[in-house]
């Protein structure tokens, strides 16, 4: 009987033990790491120290940033199974746990051991190339000082401060006041994140900022859902918000095929003081996460974090173009200079044109560290901000306002109020004072005229656009730039061949001058009398005839082709005769010739509103064969021609734009006349439009 009772008891204990392990695995697979850690620890205490249990126990603590407990169980895992194959993930997590607990040398040793498993891992290479990184990062020149734990932090998780003027947004898992019924997120057994808004206050004496804090904290109920809402940012006008939310369709959470809920990016619009019109971005997916939005300075690019397929590590930073109509382009990975085999996240673009982000893949002081890189500088390197921004724990969600000299970051470092806290800091020094201004003018290469309406771009040498502008009447452009940096300036305009200049700015502040000259496309040319015409072979007529010759029809077909190529083009058929015959008759003859060419082109499908015709008779000869001159038939033939003059492109450089007369007012100068007609002084004189010129005390008084 006693034996029977013992057997029954053993079976009961075995069943209970198996049930506990089943529950632990279930909690782990559902990301309920607090519960899974509790159960796995009890399983170990009952004698089960299998690789499965030890690795998952270590992970359960690691994923909730309890690195002290994680270190204990990862150490036991490697001690018990040193002769077994263990994934490189555990080498990295064990090394990270050791580093977060201040054990740098041991951490480095374990990270180097990854080399035998994964020889091309960039995290190992970074350590090999920077063996003295700890002293370097702990002794950086302190640019960000007066670190202050905000009084608004709670005993829960608070992170992600984003400031716009005196308004600050941040995320928090704090529950509603005086309630205990908040929904709990099983990962860390805290309530779900919500977005909060607060007012920034600055405490200063004698114009020196001591610290910044927050007051008047309130939840943004307009965008609050039953699940995670976090990482909110605003556009400069304050009317558009980008934020991260669980994949929630308004009714229930949406999962992937493995029943995992991912994060998605959303926008909201501020209408009459209410956040509404919430929409998810088109590149979201049920199969992976997107989150942590950030905008470029010109707000034409959105940066974000994702674990979408095809990346370099666990999470990477991507960018996507925001088109003028509000649509989005295709997301692009920022590449392996920034992204590693680890986690890169929380991007932010500062007014110093640096992109700040957090990573545990680049070599750092522990956990997530904050780094920066200038995306506009070719081959720029990732730089660790060092202490005091970075610590042995997780440091992330860095933002800074250089104009106000205030910034924020988040950390779970020792001494905080809760899980994650928001910290403010003061910018000790302004960004480098060395500044360059790139200035220049866009010219027509043939006429040397100012080319109004050209689009000018400033890019780096990788053709990444930094800035752009449309030049006005003066055809001048200006860009703010950095010293000692390589740039490319490109000018383009419809109907012209683009021009560009590549150069490096000096190492001292000043102005870099650039001249860009655009040459007209090969479809166009300048006639002998300075008009812009379609570039074809001359169209000639037989003596005293206006019918279209076979050789002329070939050239007219080219005109049709060019007009189809440029649908907005409007032209005039200008026909001419030789000097033989009556002047009045020649005007009529040339008019008939112009009409013939117009009819031919219209018969080919070109709208009649796009072409007109005018006869000039013998008034614009191209040679000296005027009345009474003895010329050959070939010389007379040169004058029996038709040209197609461009009349609507704008100031492309018709040399006949200057009027025959100019009413001069007192105060007019030769320069002002040239400028008003979009001509240079040299061209003004060369055209011989100034018949009589008298200057008195520097003023132009008479012009015929």
Give how far the C-alpha of residue 673 lies from the chain's centroid of Cα atoms, to the nearest Å. 43
Residues 496 and 595 grouped into a single domain: no
CB 303 within 8 A of CB 294: yes
Listed residue (331, 329, 317, 418) closest to 373, CA to CA: 317
In a domain, 124, yes or no: no
CATH number at residue 513: 2.60.40.1120
pLDDT at 206: 67
**Residue 289 banded pLDDT, cuts 50, 70, 90:** very high
Dist. CA 186–CA 612, nearest whole Å? 77
Strands 571-575 and 532-534: unpaired
**Residue 21 banded pLDDT, cuts 50, 70, 90:** confident
CA-based R_g, the chain, Å:
37
Residues 218 and 305 grouped into a single domain: yes
Per-residue model confidence as pLDDT tens digits over 84-121: 888 888 898 998 989 999 899 998 888 888 887 877 88
pLDDT at 618: 82
In a domain, 403, yes or no: no
pLDDT at 189: 67
Phi/psi for 352 (5° steps) reads: -85, 5
Residues 507 and 549 grouped into a single domain: no
pLDDT at 682: 43
**Residue 177 banded pLDDT, cuts 50, 70, 90:** low
Q: What is the mean pLDDT of residues 420-435?
A: 83
Residues 90 and 182 grouped into a single domain: no
Question: Does the pLDDT of residue 385 top 80, yes or no?
Answer: yes
Q: SS3 for 283?
A: coil
**Residue 583 banded pLDDT, cuts 50, 70, 90:** confident
CB 305 within 8 A of CB 287: no
In a domain, 313, yes or no: yes
In the chain, the number of structural domains is 5
Dist. CA 500–CA 463, nearest whole Å? 11
In a domain, 391, yes or no: no
Residues 181 and 227 grouped into a single domain: yes
CATH number at residue 70: 1.25.40.10
Residue 98 burial by Cβ neighbours in a 10 Å radius (0-12, 13-18, 19+): buried
Omega of the bond prior to 388 within 30 degrees of 0, cis?
yes
Phi/psi for 471 (5° steps) reads: -75, 150
In a domain, 374, yes or no: no
CATH number at residue 551: 3.30.1330.60
What's the whole-model pTM score?
0.62
Q: What is the mean pLDDT of residues 270-290?
A: 94
Q: Is 326 left (phi over 0), alpha (psi -120 to 50) or beta?
A: left
Residues 459 and 480 grouped into a single domain: yes
In a domain, 216, yes or no: yes
Dist. CA 150–CA 85, nearest whole Å? 46
CB 409 within 8 A of CB 398: yes
- Of 313, 335, 352, which residue sits at a domain end? 352
Residues 346 and 464 grouped into a single domain: no
In a domain, 283, yes or no: yes
**Residue 673 banded pLDDT, cuts 50, 70, 90:** low
Residues 500 and 539 grouped into a single domain: no
- Of 334, 352, 370, which residue sits at a domain end? 352
Residues 566 and 449 grouped into a single domain: no
CATH number at residue 233: 2.120.10.30
**Residue 701 banded pLDDT, cuts 50, 70, 90:** very low
pLDDT at 187: 56
Residues 189 and 247 grouped into a single domain: yes
CA angle 52, 29, 114 (to 5 degrees): 50
Residues 554 and 617 grouped into a single domain: yes
In a domain, 174, yes or no: yes
Dist. CA 577–CA 540, nearest whole Å? 10
Per-residue model confidence as pLDDT tens digits over 252-262: 888 888 888 89
- Of 284, 317, 352, which residue sits at a domain end? 352
Residues 347 and 468 grouped into a single domain: no
Question: Does the pLDDT of residue 392 top 60, yes or no?
Answer: yes
Domain of 67, in residue numbers: 2-119
Dist. CA 205–CA 368, nearest whole Å? 34
CB 688 within 8 A of CB 703: no
Q: What is the mean pLDDT of the chain?
A: 84
Dist. CA 381–CA 129, nearest whole Å? 14
């Amino acid at each position: 009987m006693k034996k029977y009772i013992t057997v029954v008891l053993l079976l009961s204990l075995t069943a209970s033990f198996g049930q506990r392990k089943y529950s632990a695995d279930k909690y782990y697979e559902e990301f309920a790491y607090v519960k899974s850690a509790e159960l796995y620890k009890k399983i170990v205490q009952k004698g089960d120290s299998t690789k499965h249990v030890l690795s998952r126990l270590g992970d359960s603590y690691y994923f909730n940033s309890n690195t002290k407990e994680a270190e204990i169980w990862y150490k036991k895992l490697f001690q018990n199974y040193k002769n077994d194959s263990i994934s490189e993930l555990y080498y990295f997590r064990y090394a990270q746990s050791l580093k977060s607990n201040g054990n740098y040398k041991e951490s480095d040793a374990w990270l180097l051991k990854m080399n035998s498993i994964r020889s091309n891992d960039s995290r190992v290479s970074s350590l090999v190339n920077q063996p003295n990184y700890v002293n370097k990062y702990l002794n950086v020149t302190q640019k960000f000082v007066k670190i202050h734990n905000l009084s608004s932090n709670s005993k829960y998780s608070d992170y992600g401060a984003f400031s716009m003027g005196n308004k600050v947004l941040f995320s928090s898992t704090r529950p509603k006041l005086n309630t205990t019924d908040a929904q709990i997120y099983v990962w860390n057994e805290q309530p779900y994140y919500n977005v909060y808004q607060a007012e920034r206050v600055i405490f200063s004496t004698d114009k020196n900022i001591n610290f910044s804090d927050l007051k008047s904290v309130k939840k943004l109920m307009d965008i609050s859902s039953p699940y995670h809402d976090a990482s909110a940012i605003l556009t400069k006008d304050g009317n558009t918000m980008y934020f991260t939310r669980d994949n929630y369709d308004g009714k229930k959470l949406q999962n992937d095929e493995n029943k995992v809920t991912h994060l998605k990016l959303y926008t909201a619009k501020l209408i009459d003081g209410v956040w509404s019109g919430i929409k998810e971005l088109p590149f979201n997916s049920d199969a992976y996460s997107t989150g942590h939005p950030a905008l470029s300075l010109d707000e034409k690019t959105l940066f974000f974090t994702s674990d979408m397929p095809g990346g370099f590590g666990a999470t990477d930073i991507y960018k996507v173009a925001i088109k003028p109509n509000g649509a989005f382009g295709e997301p692009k990975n920022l590449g392996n200079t920034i992204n590693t085999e680890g986690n890169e996240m929380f991007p932010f673009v500062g007014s110093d044109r640096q992109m700040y982000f957090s990573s545990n893949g680049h070599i750092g002081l522990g956990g997530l560290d904050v780094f920066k890189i200038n995306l506009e500088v070719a081959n720029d390197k990732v730089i660790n901000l060092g202490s005091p921004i970075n610590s042995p724990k997780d440091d992330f969600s860095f933002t800074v306002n250089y104009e106000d000299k205030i910034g924020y970051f988040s950390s779970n470092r020792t001494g905080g109020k809760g899980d994650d806290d928001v910290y403010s800091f003061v910018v000790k020094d302004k960004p480098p004072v060395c500044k360059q201004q790139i200035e220049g003018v866009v010219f027509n290469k043939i006429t040397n005229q100012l080319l109004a309406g050209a689009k000018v771009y400033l890019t780096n040498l990788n053709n990444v656009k930094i800035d752009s502008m449309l030049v006005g009447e003066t055809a001048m452009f200006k860009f703010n730039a950095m010293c000692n940096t390589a740039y490319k300036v490109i000018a383009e305009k419809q109907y012209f061949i683009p021009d560009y200049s590549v150069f490096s700015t000096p190492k001292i502040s000043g102005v870099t001058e650039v001249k860009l000259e655009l040459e007209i496309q090969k479809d166009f040319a300048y006639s002998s009398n300075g008009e812009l015409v379609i570039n074809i072979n001359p169209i000639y007529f037989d003596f005293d005839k206006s019918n279209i010759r076979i050789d002329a029809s070939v050239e007219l077909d080219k005109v049709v082709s060019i007009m189809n190529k440029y649908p907005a083009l409007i032209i005039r058929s200008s026909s001419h005769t030789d000097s033989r015959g009556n002047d009045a008759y020649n005007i009529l003859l040339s008019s008939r010739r112009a009409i013939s060419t117009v009819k031919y082109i219209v018969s080919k499908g070109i709208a009649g509103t796009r072409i007109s015709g005018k006869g000039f008779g013998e008034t614009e000869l191209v040679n000296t064969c005027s009345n009474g001159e003895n010329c050959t038939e070939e010389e007379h033939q040169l004058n029996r021609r038709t040209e197609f003059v461009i009349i609507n492109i704008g100031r492309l450089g018709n040399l006949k734009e200057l009027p025959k007369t100019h009413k001069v007012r007192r105060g007019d100068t030769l320069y002002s006349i040239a400028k008003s007609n979009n001509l240079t002084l040299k061209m003004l004189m060369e055209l011989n439009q100034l018949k009589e010129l008298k200057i008195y005390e520097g003023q132009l008084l008479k012009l015929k």
